[in-house]
Amino acid sequence: MRYFELLIFAVFAAVVLYQLYAVLGRRIGRQPEDLPAAAPVADADPAATVDGPGMVGADLSGLAAVRQRDPSFEVPSFLAGAKQAYEMIVIAFAAGDHATLRNLLSPGVAESFEAAIAAREAEGRTEKVEFLQPPRADLDRIDVDGGAARAVVRFLAEFRSRTKGPEGEAVDDRRTAELWTFERNLNSRDPNWTLVHVDAAEA
């Protein structure tokens, strides 16, 4: 499971967006205006579709291109690591763990997450989350652009959020459906993937 070394990516991580603190739960997914700003990602070339475990209706036209550059790439191993990273990022965001997030996120996404954490702290709020069951992760699409591989993973998750603020403590069971885009430099020996974008998704 070399890719997770990638879980330096996972070993690193923990948390999610401001919305995993504010918006996730009362509806599935997020509206565009809810999301911290993140760098846009080019769409994959929709040439082929493959169905299978962890690849529900996935557009995998770029899978062959990734394997050509890295024959050891395997979808199940990648998704196992991505799912671990997702849980850790969600937990880390809630905990305000800046150091962990910085190792997992692109600079632009990290800046947005840190700003959201700072805003929450300025309001005197703290949060802790726990997953009610393991999240589901499916590869939505993967493509190669120059030397960069980008994989879009659809996550469905349920978790419990415990928040404390000036008005007291609250417990909220939340559900979320999101598309997370991870990127890796194929010209580097570093096998780690970085979170570069988050979008709301249909449940």
pLDDT in tens, 140-182: 999 999 899 999 999 999 999 999 999 899 999 999 999 999 9
Helix axes 107-122, 75-95, angle to 10 degrees: 30
- Contact (CB, 8 A) for 153 and 79: yes
More confident residue, 202 or 20: 202
In whole angstroms, what separates CA 125 from the centre of its chain? 23
- The tally of domains found in the chain comes to 1
What average pLDDT does the chain have?
77
Does residue 168 belong to any structural domain of this protein? yes
Does residue 131 belong to any structural domain of this protein? yes
CATH number at residue 165: 3.10.450.240
Residue 196, pLDDT above cutoff 60: yes
Does residue 167 belong to any structural domain of this protein? yes
* pTM tops 0.75, yes or no: no
Q: Which domain holds residue 195?
A: 2-31+47-200
Which residues, listed in sequence order, are joined to residue 139 by a DSSP beta bridge? 153
Residue 55, pLDDT above cutoff 80: no
More confident residue, 73 or 19: 73
Does residue 42 belong to any structural domain of this protein? no
Does residue 145 belong to any structural domain of this protein? yes
Q: What is the mean pLDDT of residues 37-55?
A: 39
Residue 93, pLDDT above cutoff 60: yes
Which residues, listed in sequence order, are joined to residue 27 by a DSSP beta bridge? 24
Q: CB under 8 Å to 184, separation ≥6 — which residues?
A: 6, 148, 149, 151, 190, 191, 192, 193, 194
Does residue 186 belong to any structural domain of this protein? yes
Does residue 148 belong to any structural domain of this protein? yes
Does residue 40 belong to any structural domain of this protein? no
